[in-house]
Chains A and B, each alone.
Chain A
Amino acid sequence: MIRPSAPLRATIQRTTPPLLILLAAAIILLGKADQSMFDSLRASLTDNAAPALNALSRPLDAAATAVDRVRGVVTMYQDNLRLERENERLLQWQQVALKLSADNRELRGLLKAAPENAMSYVTTRVIANSGGGYVRTVMVNAGSDQGLARGQAAITGDGLIGRLTEIGSRSARVLLITDLNSRIPVVIQRTNANAILAGDNSERPRLLYANDPDAIKIGDRILTSGEGGVFPPGLPVGTVAALGSGGARVEPFVELSQLGYVLVVDYGLSGGLPQPAPVAARPGRRGKPAAPDEAGVR
């Protein structure tokens, strides 16, 4: 190996840091000008980091489970009483639900209503978050290999948490509903008024462009409206927690800082996010052209 001479080494040593600083600044500007520029690099790096993050996040998972267990033991007696009461109530609701379900089926048959899209779920584990207050995303340990695709909804048992924005082969990024760039068409259940749920990096996203903002009350349930084809209608999102001049604030049903396992739901909708342009293969050179969104079709 040729070793550079001492003066040359000193020059390299002196000029490298300012050059790198300028390069970093240039990258910031480039990334701002074309936000999709680093998408593939991001996805492949994230894929490579996924196994390490997966392994490192396991002890945290175990710790959270242990804390839950200890808490569970302490509150076992009260929990048992509460659950018994709840169970009694739910059994009554079950009867109601069964009856409604039968009615619903019958009426749908009479109306010849089109059947709803079939749903499929992929259970994923959160392996990383964005660290810092400037973006609100989480990374999950499944990707296109498991059938995930851009735009799919991410939920927990309690409600909506966000949608998939970046897909690697074995990892994916979920843009949380609290992120500055998250805009979700929602409906206020009580008044049936449409609005947009806009994240602003705070814990409680805002309701914008509501049809009748004065009719919104604290405690109103917010569901996805299904407008624009981003999400299916009726996914629970949160409740109105505060009213103010900047719009009503919504407390999400899901505790977003406590995410462990997340369900990714494929409703067979387009997803509302533009797919990256497929590379048009030349006939005779690479076989069939690449199908957009091939990973999402199952």
Chain B
Amino acid sequence: MELKVSSIPSLPRVNSGLAQMLPIATTVLAALLAILPVRLPGYAALTPAFVLMAVYHWTIYRPDLLPPIGLFAVGLTQDLVAGTAVGAGALVLLLARAAVLRYRRAFIGRTFPFVWSGFALLAGVAMLGLWALHCLMQLSFFDFRTTMFRTVLTVAIFPVASFALGRTQRALMGATG
């Protein structure tokens, strides 16, 4: 497999420390949000992949502020705290970042439905990859319907996350961010 990684473009400088921390902070928050015990029937298995939403958003708009090493740390920590296979989350997030970074130009300045469909594609591939990885590791066939519903829920919730992230980004980084 060829791991071709695009270089990070130069983006407008962000002076405020708070704004610089925003991508990492929101990604960490998304990781915490994903393991909170929401008391809805079946929710635990279907929890939307919040971190993937943050990674998609920030890799398109501010890849310079979400360095791969930070993403690796967040992914690994999430794996460890959530009790899932160590490294699997980190791997999927890094691959997702690499994929989005390659095509990010195609998403800048486009309409929201276009950005949304890009996310749907990413979420589909990422969830399928995660499912295959876990099946391989446990040598057992996990119910694919759960993965499918989880993907649908993730894609359905993306507009809310995208709106919240976009608003926070504009508030802290201004129009240039």
> Which A positions have Cβ atoms within 8 angstroms of B?
10, 13-14, 16-18, 20-21, 23-28, 30-32, 38, 41-42, 45-46, 49, 52-53, 56-57, 60, 64, 126-139, 166, 173, 180, 200-203, 255, 257-260
Residue among A30, A57, A132, A200 making CB contact with B150, cutoff 8 Å: A132
Residue of A nearest to B135 (CB): A134
- Whether B86 and A16, one on each chain, are in contact in the complex, defined by CB atoms closer than 8 angstroms, is no
- Whether A38 and B86, one on each chain, are in contact in the complex, defined by CB atoms closer than 8 angstroms, is yes
- Whether A128 and B86, one on each chain, are in contact in the complex, defined by CB atoms closer than 8 angstroms, is no
Residue among A16, A28, A133, A257 making CB contact with B68, cutoff 8 Å: A16
- Whether A130 and B35, one on each chain, are in contact in the complex, defined by CB atoms closer than 8 angstroms, is yes
Residue of A nearest to B64 (CB): A13
Tell me whether B80 is interfacial, beta carbon within 8 Å. Answer: yes
Q: For A126, what are the chain B residues with a Cβ–Cβ distance below 8 Å?
A: 37
Given the known interface contacts A46-B81, A166-B83, the answer about A60 and B37 at a Cβ–Cβ threshold of 8 Å is yes
Q: For B67, what are the chain A residues with a Cβ–Cβ distance below 8 Å?
A: 16
Residue among A45, A133, A137 making CB contact with B147, cutoff 8 Å: A133
Residue among A20, A46, A134, A173 making CB contact with B134, cutoff 8 Å: A134
- Whether A52 and B32, one on each chain, are in contact in the complex, defined by CB atoms closer than 8 angstroms, is yes
Q: For B47, what are the chain A residues with a Cβ–Cβ distance below 8 Å?
A: 129, 131-132
Q: For A260, what are the chain B residues with a Cβ–Cβ distance below 8 Å?
A: 39
- Whether A14 and B5, one on each chain, are in contact in the complex, defined by CB atoms closer than 8 angstroms, is yes
Q: For B150, what are the chain A residues with a Cβ–Cβ distance below 8 Å?
A: 132-133
Consensus secondary structure, chain B interface: helix
Q: For B33, what are the chain A residues with a Cβ–Cβ distance below 8 Å?
A: 56
Tell me whether B94 is interfacial, beta carbon within 8 Å. Answer: yes
Q: For A202, what are the chain B residues with a Cβ–Cβ distance below 8 Å?
A: 143
Of the listed stretches B15-23, B71-79, B161-169, name the one at the interface; the rest are far from the partner chain: B71-79
- Whether A17 and B68, one on each chain, are in contact in the complex, defined by CB atoms closer than 8 angstroms, is yes
B103 nearest CB across to chain A (Å): 15
Docked Cα-Cα span, A257 to B72, in Å, equals 30
Residue among B37, B86, B90, B134 making CB contact with A138, cutoff 8 Å: B37
Instruction: Given A131-B35, A132-B84, output 20 extra A-B contacts at Cβ < 8 Å.
Output: A13-B7, A14-B5, A17-B68, A18-B5, A24-B76, A41-B80, A42-B81, A42-B86, A53-B35, A60-B36, A127-B37, A128-B81, A128-B82, A129-B47, A130-B44, A131-B47, A133-B142, A133-B150, A134-B130, A136-B44
